[in-house]
Amino acid sequence: MSEQDWVLHVDLDQFIAAVEVARRPELRGRPVVVGGTGDPTQRAVVATASYEAREFGVHSGMPLRLAKRKCPDAVFLPSDAPAYEDVSAHVMDVLRELPVVVEVLGWDEAFLGARTDDPEALADTVRRAVKAETGLESSVGVGDNKLRAKLATGFAKPAGVYRLTRDNWVEVMAGRPVTALWGIGSRTADKLASLDIRTVEELVRADPQVLAARFGPAMGPHFRQLALGAGDTQVTATPWVAKSRSRETTFQHDLTDREEILARVRLLAQRVVEDVRAEGRPAVRVVVKIRFVPFFTCTRGVALEEPTTEAEPIEAAAVAALARFDDTRAVRLLGVRAEFIGE
């Protein structure tokens, strides 16, 4: 087989839980749930769950209290972002030692660009290197573009390798629901279902004009391209840079007083300012996130007049964003996010 360009997607299996188990080997094989302060009686959500916990129906984004009900014997641990960042940096350094181009996507995943005649052998080399240097298991998707490599990883899990290319795209993906595509969530799927489009094959066969009318002239055709498996083939060796800095708080008692909500948003904005200054990059937009009772989340954003790291305009923008909410239901979570140029 002659050499050709390939895209590999590396995903660290149950990353956060795996880091915690590595620090506490006695937890190996037990259901582990990480999130908030690690107290399932408090309001917070699951950051990640070990495979053992997932067997009980626990998943990321689930309230810790619900996770406790589903898996009473789980070990609940607090999130430790600095530890995860350190381990992630180590993994990416390991990848950079291999004959590949590394494009970091986040803590636990990266695209690799490589020219080889045996991408599966390279994927195995990647997995072995990560395991040997960090003790972490990983899954690797092999594709002829980023979209297919990313989706292939889902078939590779746990701790495996899978190839998804133009050659087997139809066989593997045609009958799957549209949510199997990277970039189509449940809300978009519901809108597609209203057009009697539920599978990848049905999306391929959809009338582009109908899609454009429903989703707009850019997104409509884009969704169909996803169903065709089209994607970017360029892997760029640029370091991952945070697009934003945010702070949020889940309250143990619902907030109903508007003045208290305003005060909390101001406080979160002040903490975000500290993060923005530590990042050393000016913010261009501020977003407020609210989770209303029982569990409805929405956001509102305000663009800053000019990029800044100053507290006053960032806090004022957060207050302005809060004013754009007209829902009067009780609040269980507040968040403030400052976005940087390029967001």
Task: List active site positions.
Answer: 109
Q: Which of 9, 49, 12, 32 is nearest to 136 (CA)?
A: 12
Contact indicator for 225, 178 with CB cutoff of 8 Å = no
Task: List residues bridging with 48 in a β-sheet.
Answer: 34
Tell me whether strands 32-34 and 75-77 are parallel, antiparallel or unpaired: parallel
Task: Encode 51-64: b = buried (16+ Cβ within 10 Å), e = exposed.
Answer: ebbbebebeeebbb
Q: Which of 295, 301, 302, 290 is nearest to 327 (CA)?
A: 290
Tell me whether strands 138-143 and 4-12 are parallel, antiparallel or unpaired: antiparallel
Contact indicator for 79, 35 with CB cutoff of 8 Å = yes
Q: Annotate 139-170 with DSSP letters as a single string.
A: EEEEESSHHHHHHHHHHH-SS-EEEE-TTTHH
Sheet architecture: strand order including 283-292: 244-255, 331-340, 283-292, 296-308
Q: Which of 86, 91, 125 is nearest to 6 (CA)?
A: 125
In sequence order, which residues have a C-beta less than 8 Å from that of residue 194 and are 6 or more positions away? none
- Quick one: tokens of 21? 């188990």
Q: Which of 134, 131, 150 is nearest to 235 (CA)?
A: 150
Give the separation between CA 100 and CA 47, rounded to whole angstroms: 30
Give the separation between CA 343 and CA 330, rounded to whole angstroms: 30
Phi and psi of 8, rounded to 5°?
-110, 140
Give the separation between CA 95 and CA 110, rounded to whole angstroms: 9
